[in-house]
Amino acid sequence: MCGIVGYTGPRQAYPVVVKGLKRLEYRGYDSAGVALVNGDLKVFKKKGKVADLEENNVGKDLNGHIGIGHTRWATHGEPSDRNAHPHQSQSGELAMIHNGIIENYAQIKQELLSKGYTFKSDTDTEVLLNFIDDIKKNNNCSVEEALRIALKRVVGAYCILLISKDDPETIIAARKGSPLVIGIGKGEHFLASDASPIIEYTKEVVYVNDYEIAIVRPDELILKNLGNEKQTPYITKLDMELAKIEKGGYEHFMLKEIHEQPETIHDCLRGRLQVETGEIKMGGIQNHIDALVNADRILMVACGTSWHAGLIAEYVFEELCRIPVEVEYASEFRYRNPVVKKGDVIIAISQSGETADTLVALEKAKEQGAFIFGVVNVVGSSIARISHAGAYTHAGPEIGVASTKAFTGQLAVLMMMALKIGYAKGTISKERYLHLMNELDAVPDKVKQILADTSNIERIANKYKDATDALFLGRGYNFPVALEGALKLKEISYIHAEGYPAAEMKHGPIALVDENLPVVFVATKDSYYEKIISNVQEIKARKGRVVAVASEGDNVITTMSEDVMFVPECDEVIAPLLSTIPLQLLSYYVGVAKGYNVDMPRNLAKSVTVE
Ligand code: G6P
């Protein structure tokens, strides 16, 4: 969370930085700011979105060929103009932006206060900046050297960009835990939290590693470690298209990304799922097939929507591979003392590949000898790089804060993995294996069918938009889908929603049911169908308002539900890939009907790089 951008080169920096910040707004949008050097060091910042900053800057002198900019997701200090980044050192000589958390900032602040420093903001960033400036003064050293000394004291995570009044060419950057990409142009450099602000200028990038410092000038990029030793920058070619990060005629990124799913799921399966030959080609699995087939246990580690993908995968892996699976919240896993041993396989699931809790959990498990397999969307991200092996989801850049197409991409990858491992292990028959391959292959077209006409879902959304609470219920493979449906509604429409196993509802949530409560059943035709129909009856008997996601042609559930959203029939193992789509649309349309910014829901951020 927090997006950072930097530019040094012959162009005007302000437009480059502001455009980049707009691309990174999914990372946080509590405030935005830019610092430029043009004779003097000038800082412009404002509470709110990047557009508010731009409006506030109309008519100002925004010239300068070097600039840094920040879009904030608040950690230390409320969202306000004064807590917005960039921060300026007390001497006025340095300006800095930061993504991350300095955990020992209070102690450093105390030391600086006793030296007579005063602070304009409540942020940990301003403390680190003055600490660097203080070291520079006391040691009579360069900013780079002062930064290096300061970072040795710092506990926490950071990606920082630093510029000085006296140096109209150099941006100094450092990273630990929070991402940083540097784009290499002709006589110019671009810095950003991800590649999206860079893509229109250059395809050559360097991913900076933890504990590295970058000294970036228009025609020079020097990478060093904290020991001041030069590192060789490893240049990667970006495989990303500009069109993929623009709205392409849709009103919101979320809607565009929901509608992209036939294509993204197809891209994910393409070249891997070879129905004609009965093969699943996944290099990451094939190269480590023994570790995977012989795994004593699989631990899925993830957060948010990715955690729900893990829960679905638990059902699929246990069914098809007969390997015990545990699904862990990364934030809990990293702090308790989990039992991890050699022979355990950790499957890390993450859209961004940068979620701090997931990243640290993996580092911990890796130290204990586990094999790490990453299921990641963002190519070259930190989780992708620390994994022993992995499979990308190939969903393309996901900008909407609520995850949609990345989630179905994760499911597609995990289902292919389970099929491949189960078949290699002999825990599924050839017949079932081939049947499920065909079922997976048919998913993109079936998703297309659901998306062909969304007017019924939009109507249902408008009907229930004023509900204050909602319950989402499912069984088996569709239970985690219910959890994800509830999460989506909370995120986008701010309606309190809970997901529950449909039968477990009797042990508490049923007390909430009255004639106002919408109860969304995910009740496609599967081996639990008869059971869930009984649960529907139980809700109806208490006058709850039943909304169902059901299989096409089901005319039993229509008699019991106020409203139904149909999906094509499919094997129950595959069902979550379809049953989740109407729920994404439902929350989207409720959010829109309520007038909310569905791409940037309040308080949330997409890439959570703080713990
Ligand atoms: C945030 C996002 C969610 C996402 C979660 C995990 O909360 O808003 O959409 O599921 O982080 O992120 P990851 O990038 O690790 O999948």
Q: Is residue 304 in contact with ligand 1, taking CB distance under 6 Å?
A: yes
The strand order across the sheet containing 235-237 reads 40-47, 31-38, 66-72, 3-8, 189-192, 181-184, 204-207, 235-237
Q: Are residues 234 and 273 in the same domain?
A: no
2 carries an active-site annotation: yes
Count of CA atoms in the C-beta half-sphere (13 A) of 588: 26
Indicate the angle between helix axes 13-23 and 50-57, nearest 10 degrees.
160
Q: Are residues 380 and 262 in the same domain?
A: yes
**Residues 531-580: pLDDT tens digits?**
999 999 999 988 999 999 999 999 999 999 999 999 999 999 999 999 99
In this structure, the strands spanning 563-567 and 545-551 are parallel
Q: Is residue 403 in contact with ligand 1, taking CB distance under 6 Å?
A: yes
Contacts of 508 (CB under 8 A, 6+ apart): none
Which residue of 349, 351, 580, 604 sits with most ligand 1 atoms within 8 Å of its CB, as the best mutation to test the pocket? Answer: 351
**Contact indicator for 323, 578 with CB cutoff of 8 Å:** no
The rounded distance, in Å, linking the Cα atoms of 346 and 83 is 39
Which residue of 306, 307, 378, 392 sits with most ligand 1 atoms within 8 Å of its CB, as the best mutation to test the pocket? Answer: 306
Q: What is the mean pLDDT of residues 137-142?
A: 96
Give, using CA atoms, the residue closest to atom 7 of ligand 1.
Answer: 304
No. of helices (H) and no. of strands (E), the chain = 20, 27
Q: Are residues 402 and 468 in the same domain?
A: no
Q: Are residues 252 and 239 in the same domain?
A: no
Q: Are residues 92 and 202 in the same domain?
A: yes
Q: Are residues 458 and 447 in the same domain?
A: no
Per the structure, the complete domain to which residue 263 belongs is given by 247-451
Q: Is residue 402 in contact with ligand 1, taking CB distance under 6 Å?
A: yes
The torsion angles phi and psi of 280, rounded to 5 degrees, stand at -115, 115
Segment among 164-173, 185-194, 516-525, 535-544 with least mean pLDDT: 535-544
**Contact indicator for 164, 143 with CB cutoff of 8 Å:** yes
Is 90 exceeded by the pLDDT of residue 75? Answer: no
Q: What is the mean pLDDT of residues 120-142?
A: 96
Q: Is residue 604 in contact with ligand 1, taking CB distance under 6 Å?
A: yes
Single residue among 434, 451, 468 that ends a domain in this structure = 451
Indicate which CATH number applies to the domain containing 217: 3.60.20.10
Q: Are residues 514 and 380 in the same domain?
A: no
Give, using CA atoms, the residue closest to atom 2 of ligand 1.
Answer: 606
Ligand 1, closest atom to CA 401? 8
Ligand 1, closest atom to CA 605? 8
In angstroms, what is the span from residue 73 Cα to ligand 1's centroid? 14
Single residue among 411, 426, 451 that ends a domain in this structure = 451
Give, using CA atoms, the residue closest to atom 8 of ligand 1.
Answer: 606
Q: What is the DSSP letter of 565?
A: E
Q: Is residue 8 in contact with ligand 1, taking CB distance under 6 Å?
A: no
**Residue 119: what pLDDT?**
96
**Residue 157: what pLDDT?**
87
Count of CA atoms in the C-beta half-sphere (13 A) of 308: 25
Q: Are residues 507 and 583 in the same domain?
A: yes
Catalytic residue among 256, 420, 490, 606: 606
Q: Tell me the whole-structure pTM to 2 decimals.
A: 0.83
Q: Per the structure, how many domains does the chain have?
A: 3
Single residue among 417, 451, 485 that ends a domain in this structure = 451
Q: Are residues 475 and 367 in the same domain?
A: no
Q: Are residues 397 and 469 in the same domain?
A: no
Indicate which CATH number applies to the domain containing 503: 3.40.50.10490
Alpha helices in 454-557 (DSSP H): 455-464, 479-493, 529-541
Q: Is residue 350 in contact with ligand 1, taking CB distance under 6 Å?
A: yes
606 carries an active-site annotation: yes
Which residue of 303, 376, 411 sits with most ligand 1 atoms within 8 Å of its CB, as the best mutation to test the pocket? Answer: 303
Q: Are residues 431 and 490 in the same domain?
A: no
The torsion angles phi and psi of 419, rounded to 5 degrees, stand at -65, -45
The rounded distance, in Å, linking the Cα atoms of 244 and 247 is 8
380: left (phi over 0), alpha (psi -120 to 50) or beta: left
**Residue 240: what pLDDT?**
77
Is 80 exceeded by the pLDDT of residue 387? Answer: yes
Is 90 exceeded by the pLDDT of residue 278? Answer: yes
In angstroms, what is the span from residue 349 Cα to ligand 1's centroid? 10
**Residue 152: what pLDDT?**
94
**Residue 374: what pLDDT?**
97
Q: Are residues 17 and 74 in the same domain?
A: yes
